[in-house]
């Protein structure tokens, strides 16, 4: 028997599939499965796989999962989230899932980085994503692509964020923008401009660094004005930073 009770301590977002020879589920008379889908997110899936492998080594090949008891209800988030669109539709979220007009909503999200693709091909790719069942388009806004030279911002042609978001809206897709400032995405410096990292410490509470971050965010705000959900637009979410592991004075969490 494998003890996977520790999995419940982690938030859910993605899917990890772990195969095994036999799984027995309490309260379910169906035949044993040959796989189980365990929800995990980001770095957490690696921990799940490691812990599972340890369990396999230390135990036999059967897994006992008790689903005879009802799951605990989702809890409200400790911060305000969601909002009402001009047409009256409401988005929200709890500790377990998104809600649309009060009903659980599980949209399919796909990734497309507009600045990495010719503007002339955006619409075709958006249509392909829609045809594949994608409902939300997630996209990085790579700082290094928009301010290669300090003080000179470029939002034209292949870097035209506003046009890309409008194209998604044209075809009924929602958008989730990932604004960094550090984005990763296999981009040099994680998307931070070369001139910036040569001048200031980054990814910490350095006043000069944060001043430039604010200026970059203000630029994004101008490009996306009127395109957020509450304004009748397709942008339903914003992700700041990415894979943040910094610790120490002036950096990330100390606990």
Question: 161-209 pLDDT, tens per residue?
Answer: 999 999 999 999 999 999 999 999 999 999 999 999 999 999 999 999 9
> Residue 245 to residues 91, 192, 219: CA-CA distances in angstroms?
30, 16, 26
**Average model confidence (pLDDT) across the chain:** 83
| 113, part of any domain | yes
How many Å separate Cα 40 from the centre of its chain?
Answer: 13
| 202, part of any domain | yes
What's the number of domains the chain is made of?
3
Cβ contacts of 91 within 8 Å, gap of 6 or more: 82, 83, 85, 98, 99, 100, 105, 229, 236
180: CATH: 3.20.20.80
Q: Are residues 111 and 234 in the same domain?
A: yes
| 247, part of any domain | no
Kindly report the pTM of this predicted structure.
0.75
| 58, part of any domain | yes
Instruction: Give me the pLDDT at residue 39, please.
Output: 39
The residue among 22 and 213 whose pLDDT is bigger is: 213
What residue numbers bound the domain in which 54 lies?
5-66
Task: pLDDT band for 49, please (50, 70, 90 cuts).
Answer: low
**Domain edge (last residue) among 17, 35, 66:** 66
| 130, part of any domain | yes
What is the per-residue pLDDT across 116-159, written as a single tens digit (0 to 9) for each?
Answer: 999 999 999 999 999 999 999 999 999 999 999 999 999 999 99
Burial 77-104 (b: 16+ CB within 10 A, else e): eeeeebeeeeeeeebbbeeeebbbeeee
Measure the CA–CA gap between 149 and 196, rounded to whole angstroms: 10
Instruction: Give me the pLDDT at residue 61, please.
Output: 60
Instruction: Give me the pLDDT at residue 68, please.
Output: 85
Write down the residue that tokens 């957490």 correspond to: 44
Instruction: Give me the pLDDT at residue 65, please.
Output: 76
Q: Are residues 191 and 98 in the same domain?
A: no
């Amino acid at each position: 028997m494998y003890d996977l009770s520790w999995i419940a301590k982690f938030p859910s977002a993605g899917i990890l599939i772990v195969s095994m020879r036999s799984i027995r589920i309490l309260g379910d008379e169906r035949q044993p499965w040959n796989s189980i889908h365990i929800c995990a997110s980001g770095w957490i899936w690696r921990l799940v796989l490691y812990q599972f492998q340890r369990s396999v080594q230390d135990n036999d090949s059967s897994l006992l999962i008790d689903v005879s008891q009802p799951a605990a209800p989702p809890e409200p988030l400790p911060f305000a989230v969601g909002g009402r669109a001009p047409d009256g539709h409401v988005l929200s979220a709890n500790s377990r899932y998104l809600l649309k007009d009060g009903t659980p909503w599980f949209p399919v999200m796909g990734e497309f980085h507009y600045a990495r693709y010719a503007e002339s091909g955006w619409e075709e790719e958006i249509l392909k994503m829609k045809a594949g069942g994608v409902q939300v388009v997630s996209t990085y806004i790579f700082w290094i692509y928009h301010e290669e030279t300090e003080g000179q911002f470029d939002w034209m042609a292949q870097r035209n964020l506003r046009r890309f978001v409008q194209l998604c809206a044209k075809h009924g897709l929602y958008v989730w923008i990932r604004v960094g400032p550090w984005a990763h995405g296999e981009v040099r410096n994680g998307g931070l401009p070369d001139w910036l990292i040569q001048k200031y410490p980054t990814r910490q509470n350095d006043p000069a660094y944060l001043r430039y971050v604010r200026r970059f965010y203000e630029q994004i705000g101008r490009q996306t004005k009127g395109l957020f959900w509450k304004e009748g637009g397709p942008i339903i979410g914003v992700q700041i930073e990415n894979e943040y592991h910094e610790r120490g004075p002036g950096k990330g969490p100390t606990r």
